[in-house]
Structure 1
Amino acid sequence: MRSASRYKATAAVLAALVVMGTVGTASAAPDAPGAGDGAAAGSQARPARAAVTGSAEFALPYLKDDDVRSFTFDAQAAPYSNPLPGIPTGLPTDARGTVKVSHYSAVDHRTITAVGRVDCLVTGPHTATLTAVFTEVSPGGPPWLGQRIGFSVHDGGPDGGRSADRVGFSWNGVNLLPGGTSEPPEAEVGTCMAPAPYAPVTRGGYTVRHADLLPRPDAR
C-alpha cells in the first residue's frame, strides 16, 4: 500500500511538471526568434526589392576646394525586366530609376548638372553599387551622353546630424587604362561596376534597402 501511494504521488508530480512545462513553452513561444507574431513581423519587414534613395553633398578626401558636389539617387530593383540578346529573361540585377549629378564650380561660379537612367543595382547590408546611362547633361558638362557611369553608396545609418554615409563614382582617376605614352583613357563601365564608396558625405544622406538577388522566374 505504501509503495502504491508513493507511485501515485510521483505520477501526480510528473503530470504537474508536464503541464507546467507545456504552459511555459507556450508562453515563451511568441518571444522565440522566428515564431509567432515575431516571424510574421520579420517577414513583413523584409523588403521584396532593393532600393537606394536620398540626396547628399560630399567631399573629395584627396582634394580641398570650395566646390559643391552632390548626388541624388532614386533607384529600385526591377529583376528580370530588361531582356538582352542571348539573355531573354533579363538579369537579377536589372533596375530602374534616376541618378542626378550636380557640381557647383567655385572658380567658374556655375553649376553643371546631369541625369542618368538607372540600369543595374546590387546591394548588400548597408551598401550598394549601381550604374546609370546618362540622358541629360547641361552645357559645358562632361561628355556623358549615352555613357554608363558607376556609383557606390554606404549607408551609415542614423547619425544624429553628423553623416556617416559615403559615396564613390567611376571617374576622377579611379577607372583609367594605364599604358602607352599619352594620358590614360577612362575604361568603359559595365553594369553595376563602381569603386568602393570613398568620399564622405558632408550634408544630407542616403538609404540603402538591401534585398538578395532573386532566382530566375522559371527556376523558382
Structure 2
Amino acid sequence: MRRTIGYGLAAAAAVVAVATPAGAAEHGPARVTGSAEFVLPYGQDDDVRSFAFDVRSVPYSRPIPLPGGEQGSPADATGTVRVAHRLAAQNVTVRFEAAVDCMITSPGHATLTAVVTRADEVAKDFLGKRVGFSVQDGGRGRDRVGFTWSASADQDETGQWGPSRIGTCLAPAAFATVTRGDYRVRHAELTAPPSGD
C-alpha cells in the first residue's frame, strides 16, 4: 500500500493555481488546483492521505455584517476542497468536503480556508467548522501541503487547551511532502475595492 500522510480524506478536485514563473505575470484570478497524496514528516504509518483543490479568488464577494466588512474582502474566494484519509488498519477511507471562503497567494504559495459542508460519519465533528490549508507549488515532485487540524491547538479565556478556532485565511506553513499528484498555484495580487466603494 502506498505511504502518504497527513490527516486527511479523499482527493478529488483541484488545488492551487499554476505558480507564476519568476518575472512573469499571470492573468486572471488567483487559483489553486490539483489533487495529490502526501506524507507527514512525523507519525509514519501505512495510511494514505490526499487533498484535492479547485479554488479561485472572487474579491469583495462576501460582505460581512461588521464595520468595514460591508464590501467583503480582497481575499474572498470560492471553490471546493476534498479530503480523504485511507485508514490502513481499519481498511476504510474517511472523506469530507469543504466550501472555500478565503484565499491569499504569493508566487508559488497559497493559504486558504474552507468550511466543512459534508463529512462521513466518522468525521461528522468537522461539519460546520472552518479548516485551513497551505500549498507550496514547487513544480511536479516538489510540492508540499499543510493543514490546521493536526498541527495547531488553542487556549480559551480560562487557559484550557482545545482545537484551534480558525479565522479566515489562516493555516500553518506547508509541512507535508507530496508523494503522488500535483498542485498548481496561480498567484494574483490582492486588489483595492471596486471604484466608488
TM > 0.5: yes
Alignment of 1:1-220 (within 5 A): 46-86=26-66, 87-141=69-123, 143-157=125-139, 159=140, 163-172=141-150, 174-177=151-154, 184-218=161-195
The secondary structure found in structure 2 opposite 1:141 is helix
Q: Deviations over 1:133-173 (max 9, x none)?
A: 0000011125111100000000012x4xxx1000000011x
Aligned counterparts of 1:181 and 1:75: Cα–Cα separation in 2: 36
Q: CA RMSD in A?
A: 2.0
Pairwise CA distance, 1:187? 1.6
Extract structure 1 runs of 4+ deviating beyond 6 A.
179-182
**Structure 2 counterpart SS, 1:217:** coil
The amino acid of 1:132's aligned partner reads A
Task: Give 3-state SS (helix, strand or coil) of 2:90's partner.
Answer: coil
Unaligned stretches of 5+ residues in structure 2: 1-22
The count of residues paired between Structure 1 and Structure 2 equals 172
Name the structure with the higher helix share: 1
Paired letter, 2:93: T
Alignment partners' CA distance in 2, 1:56 and 1:48: 24
Query: TM-score with structure 1 length normalisation?
Result: 0.74
Contact 2:47/2:87 (<8 A) preserved:
yes
Instruction: Please state whether the residue corresponding to 1:48 is helix, strand or coil.
Output: coil
Q: What's the TM-score once normalised by structure 2's chain length?
A: 0.82
Cα distance, 1:219 vs structure 2: 6.1
SS at match of 1:85: coil
Aligned amino acid, residue 77 of structure 1: S
Where 1:177 maps in the other structure, the secondary structure is strand
State the 1:175 CA deviation: 1.8
Structure with the higher fraction of residues in strand conformation: 2
* Deviations, residues 176-203 of structure 1 (Å, cap 9, x unaligned): 1259897x30121000000000000000
Alpha-carbon separation, structure 1, partners of 2:62 and 2:40: 34
Q: Deviations over 1:45-97 (max 9, x none)?
A: 62221000000000011111000000000000000011111311110000000
